[in-house]
Amino acid sequence: MVLAMIFNYSNPNGVPLFPAFPSSGNIAVISPAAVMEDIRRGDALILDAMPENFYQKRHIQSAVNMPLALFDIVYTMTFADEDKDRKIIVYGDTISRPYDVQLADKLQLRGYKNVSILKGGMDAWEASGFPVTEKTNK
């Protein structure tokens, strides 16, 4: 086992033991106020990267859910023909996983040139007083 790990580590084509998450350093960040202005003008597509159960509980009013776990299916069925130059704003991260960064990275890898992440996510959006759709428990 140790020899296999040493060989794997020394091999430039080796398999990483832990998957590398994309860095948010190469993805633009946009403020909630700028996002709201883009929504008012109809200039941007807002994507919620959270799993559907989180989206159902609370999301930005005009956002479309594109769960990271189902990205390939949702992308192929509904998104592949989207204009590659269209402004896309992604949000949705948790303490344990940067869904927004990972989704933005996948979009950039598929050739989308104008992808940004909502600075501060849902917390900053709500703190700014912008509209949110929430599921009410009755």
Q: Which domain holds residue 32?
A: 26-134
Is 5 within the bounds of a domain?
Answer: no
Alpha carbons 11 and 4: distance in angstroms, whole number: 10
- Specify the CATH number for the domain of residue 106: 3.40.250.10
Is 11 within the bounds of a domain?
Answer: no
Instruction: Label residue 71 by pLDDT band (50, 70, 90).
Output: confident
Convert the pLDDT of each residue in 100-128 to its tens digit.
999 999 999 999 999 999 999 999 999 99
Q: What is the pTM of this model?
A: 0.79
Is 98 within the bounds of a domain?
Answer: yes
Alpha carbons 15 and 5: distance in angstroms, whole number: 10
119: exposed, middle or buried (C-beta count within 10 Å: 0-12, 13-18, 19+)?
middle
Is 40 within the bounds of a domain?
Answer: yes
Is 94 within the bounds of a domain?
Answer: yes
Is 18 within the bounds of a domain?
Answer: no
Q: How many domains does the chain contain in total?
A: 1
Alpha carbons 88 and 44: distance in angstroms, whole number: 6
Is 6 within the bounds of a domain?
Answer: no
Is 10 within the bounds of a domain?
Answer: no
